[in-house]
Amino acid sequence: SMLAHDCSSMRLACILRVASRSGCSHRCLRSCLLMYSTCLQSFNSDKLADFRSDTVTKPCSGMRQAMFDALVGDDVYEEDPTVNELERKCAELFGKESALFVVSGTMGNLLSIMSHTERGDEIIVGRTSHLHRWEQGNYARLAGVSATTVPVLDDGTLPLDEIELAIRVDDIHMPRTRVICIENTHNYAGGKSIPLEYLKEIRKLADAHNLLVHVDGARFYNAAVDLGVSIAELAQPADSVTMCFSKGLGAPVGSIIVGNADFIHRCRRHRKSLGGGWRQAGILAAAAIYALEHASTTVSNDHHNAQYLCKLLNEVTPREKGDILFAKSATNMVLLTVLPPFSPGDMAKMLKERGILVMPIDEKRIRIVLNNGVGKTDIDNLVSAYAAYVNFTPKAG
C-alpha cells in the first residue's frame, strides 16, 4: 500500500540521517542498511523483482480473460475478427490508412524496410539505434539493403546536418538513399522521447530529397504520454511507425506496423515470405487491445515510478560519491551511471543476490526499466540494497 511504502521510505531516510549525525561507522551503517533491506525483501520474497526490461511482464487476470474470450479466425486469409479489430483501431489511433499485426518489433522494422526499399538501396540510421545495433543487421542479410550510420546525440536525436551529409547523390557508383530511420523513445539514450518539432524537421529534410521516414516506435506510446501529444500527432511526420505491445504496454506478444494501404499490403506479402503469417492470432490480438485500453494508466504509472526511483537513488548516494554514482530518468527508464571503484557488473550481481534484476548496458551504466510487474515495495528493496552497497564501499583515491 501507499502507506506502507511511505513509511518504509521514511524509515530509510531516518536510518541515513541518524547515522550521519551520530558518526556511525561504515560497518555499523552497512549492518543497519542490510538489515533494513532484508526486512523489506521478506515481504516480497516469493519472486524476483525484474527491472531488466518492460518485456518481462506477464498478463494480468483481465488480459487473460480477454484472451480466453477472443473470437478467432485465420489471419492469413484476413478472417480473424479480433486481429482485424486491432489493426483497425491502430490505424485510427495513429492516423494512418492501414495497419498490420506482427510477431515482434524486430519483424516490424524489417518488414518496413523491405517494403520501403529495393535490394541495393540504403538507409540512414543512428549508430546506437536498436534497428542497427540489436537486430543482427537483418536489413542487410534479408533485404539486401546497406546502411550509413550517423551519431546519436544524448537526447536520442540524429544531427540534421549529419543526415544531410549522409544522403547519396544520384550516381551509378552508389546505392540509392531511400529511408531515414528514427527511434522514439530512444533505448540507448535512456528512454528519451524525440520531440514532435524535431520529427517535423526530419519530414522536411526527407521531402526535400524525396526520402521516406520510418520510426522504430517500440515505446511510441511512452513518447506520446511523455510529450503530451496524441499518438496521431506524433506519427504524422512518419511514413511508417512500428510499436510494440509487449514492452511498455504489457501484452505478452506482438507489434503493430502502420502506414498507407499500399505499404501495408507490401508488408503483408513480405511477412508471409518470412514465415510470419498468423493463423488464429486473435488470442494475442485480444491481449494487445486490452493493453491499448489501459495504456495511458500503465504508461503514466511507469513514468511516475521511474522519476521516483531516480530521486531516491540520488538521495541515498553519499554526497562525496555523487560524481561517480548518479541516476537520470526519462519515460519508464532510469540510467544509473556507475564509475570506479564501483562497476555495473558488480552492482548488478549484488542486486541479483538480493532478488533484484537490472541490466548493465555498457562499462559505465546500468539500465533500470519500470514496468507493471514491479511495484513500490520492489523499488524500496532496490534502493535499500543500493544504499547499503554504496555507503559501505569507499571512494577511490
Per-residue model confidence (pLDDT) at position 215: 99
Per-residue model confidence (pLDDT) at position 44: 47
Architecture per CATH, 2-43+296-392: Alpha-Beta Complex (3.90)
Burial of 58 per CB tally in 10 Å (0-12, 13-18, 19+): exposed
CB 194 within 8 A of CB 156: yes
Place of cell 504509472: 301
Distance CA 387, CA 379 (A): 12
Could you tell me which residues are beta bridge partners of residue 333?
330, 369
Q: How many CA atoms lie within 13 A of 50 on its CB side?
A: 11
Per-residue model confidence (pLDDT) at position 23: 58
pTM for the model:
0.88
- For the chain, 397 residues long, give each residue's pLDDT as a single digit of tens: 343 444 455 555 555 555 555 555 555 555 555 555 555 444 444 579 999 999 999 999 999 999 999 999 999 999 999 999 999 999 999 999 999 999 999 999 999 999 999 999 999 999 999 999 999 999 999 999 999 999 999 999 999 999 999 999 999 999 999 999 999 999 999 999 999 999 999 999 999 999 999 999 999 999 999 999 999 999 999 999 999 999 999 999 999 999 999 999 999 999 999 999 999 999 999 999 999 999 999 999 999 999 999 999 999 999 999 999 999 999 999 999 999 999 999 999 999 999 999 999 999 999 999 999 999 999 999 999 999 999 876 555 4
CB proximity list for 81: less than 8 A, separation 6 or greater? 71, 72, 73, 282
Q: Peptide bond before 341: cis, by omega within 30 degrees of 0?
A: yes
Per-residue model confidence (pLDDT) at position 43: 43
CB 278 within 8 A of CB 76: yes
Could you tell me which residues are beta bridge partners of residue 356?
49
Evaluate whether the domain defined by 61-293 bears CATH number 3.30.70.20. Answer: no
Of 202, 207, 215, residue with least CA distance to 161: 202
Q: How far is CA 128 from CA 131, 158, 193, 353, in A?
A: 9, 10, 15, 31
The dihedral formed by the CA atoms of 79, 83, 84 and 85, expressed in degrees to the nearest 10? 140
Distance CA 59, CA 367 (A): 23
CB proximity list for 45: less than 8 A, separation 6 or greater? 355
Which of left, alpha, beta for 72 (phi over 0: left; psi -120 to 50: alpha)? beta
SS3 330: strand
Alpha helix positions (H), the chain: 2-22, 26-42, 61-69, 81-94, 105-116, 130-133, 138-143, 160-166, 196-208, 220-227, 231-235, 261-273, 282-293, 295-316, 344-353, 376-392
Per-residue model confidence (pLDDT) at position 247: 97
Residue spans per domain, the chain = 2-43+296-392, 61-293
